[in-house]
Amino acid sequence: MRIVPILHRLTLALLLGAGGLDAAQAQSGYYQQPAYRDQRAYPPGYYPGKLVQPAQPQPQQGFSFRRFFGAQEPPAPARAPVSRPRRSTPPPAAVVKQEKPKVDPSTHVVVFGDALASYARRGLDAHFEDDQDIAVVSKVRSDTNLVRSDPADWPNFIKATLDGGQKTSVAVVMLGTNDRQSIRDGDESVEPLSDRWRELYRQRIDAITGVLKERKVPFVWIGLPPMKNSKISDDLVAMNEIYKESVQRNGGVYVDIWPGFVDEENRYTDTGPDVDGDPTKLRTNEGVFFTRAGARKVAFFADTEIKRVLGLGGAATAAAPTQIAPADGSSAPSVEAALPPPPDAATPAALPQKPLVGPVLPLTRQEVAPGGALVSAPPKLTGDNSYTVQRALRVGIAPDSRAGRADDFRWPNP
């Protein structure tokens, strides 16, 4: 009879539902009880509680009447592969902002100088980026200085640039980063920042500013900023004085950027407000060069003087109103003449002079009576005043309030 197999399958189903067997053991009807002993006694790949049989296909999960009564499960329908459309075009690359070339600008700002001048040029490029009428031209030589090269090197380079057809509306000069070195004076080596060194260095600065003055090119000289090394900063202060004196003597404009890169105590700082007033890092880690924000700040200092030199905007360049002369040829009356004269200024009233010091009163002086006799006892009050004092201080009776005073709480008469 088929009663025994059915009971056998029912027992297995109950064990499967109670969690006593896993699906593979229930399907095969054979399982291994776990043995609690050292696992090293078992062969490789075998662990207690696992089936000894080789790996079989993973059974289907869940309860099924077909499997309960021994019927074969139908195979699962095959899933059709999902086809994904191929990308016909590659993904767009990151958009790189391309600089728009400036076509025939009317103003050319030519930058001369050494390594620091390259940062000033970058700042000016960013500052005039949206102005299609102003072009910034770089004539920077980062590996040069004024003390080790020929004294005529930089003047000849500026002459060749100006005479070679380079349009120059205004020249911007920034030099001196590597000039804290000795200068050869014949067979001697002159120590930096000595009196003779300053004289020779001033001659080299005059040669540069003299060329720009001779060519009648307006120029702006940017001073050197403070450095992280305090000794270098002290030397640059003296060098900036030489630049300023030579530039102003030859008709140029000197731009002092020192206040923009120091703190409230006039000491070097690598952070500070940028051109928008937001605190940011202005100098690089070595304490010599500028970050992008620092270069923009240098350009911001120079931009004011550049625009003033070129006459671009500002109240100083505003055209004065023209006066129309009368038809009969007589001079036009001025507006100032038609205005009434201002009233005379009132004479200030003389105030009595206040003495510098008052009378000297010694703290240890003994009190005397009006006649000059010493006061042997404190003065006594007599009359009505003594009555009020005695009542208030000895008896504790408060004095009567006066009419209209703050302590007068009497109800006013109707």
Tokens 């103003």 belong to which residue? 107
The pLDDT assigned to 45 comes to 52
Q: Which of 174, 83, 187 is nearest to 122 (CA)?
A: 174
Mean pLDDT, rounded, for 321-330: 47
Name all domains of the chain by residue range, CATH numbers in brackets: 3-68 (no CATH), 107-313 (3.40.50.1110)
Residues contacting 239, CB < 8 A, separation 6+: 176, 179, 180, 201, 224
The mean pLDDT value of the chain amounts to 76
**Prediction pTM value:** 0.54
Of the ranges 296-300, 389-393, 404-408, which is most confident? 296-300
Rounded to the nearest 10 degrees, how much is the dihedral formed by the CA atoms of 284, 286, 289, 295?
10
Mean pLDDT, rounded, for 107-115: 93
Q: Please, are residues 359 and 348 in contact by the beta-carbon 8 Å criterion? A: no
Mean pLDDT, rounded, for 339-358: 67
Q: Which of 106, 274, 73, 254 is nearest to 175 (CA)?
A: 254
Higher pLDDT, 389 or 191: 191
Q: Summarize pLDDT for 243-300 with one digit per residue, the tens.
A: 999 999 999 999 999 999 999 888 999 999 999 989 999 999 999 999 999 999 999 9
Tokens standing for 361? 């009163």
Higher pLDDT, 53 or 125: 125
Q: Summarize pLDDT for 26-62 with one digit per residue, the tens.
A: 454 444 444 444 445 555 554 454 444 555 555 565 6
Higher pLDDT, 157 or 57: 157
Rounded to an integer, what distance in angstroms lies between the CA atom of residue 6 and that of residue 12? 10
Rounded to an integer, what distance in angstroms lies between the CA atom of residue 173 and that of residue 113? 6
The pLDDT assigned to 319 comes to 39
Higher pLDDT, 378 or 129: 129
Other beta carbons within 10 angstroms of residue 136's beta carbon come to 24
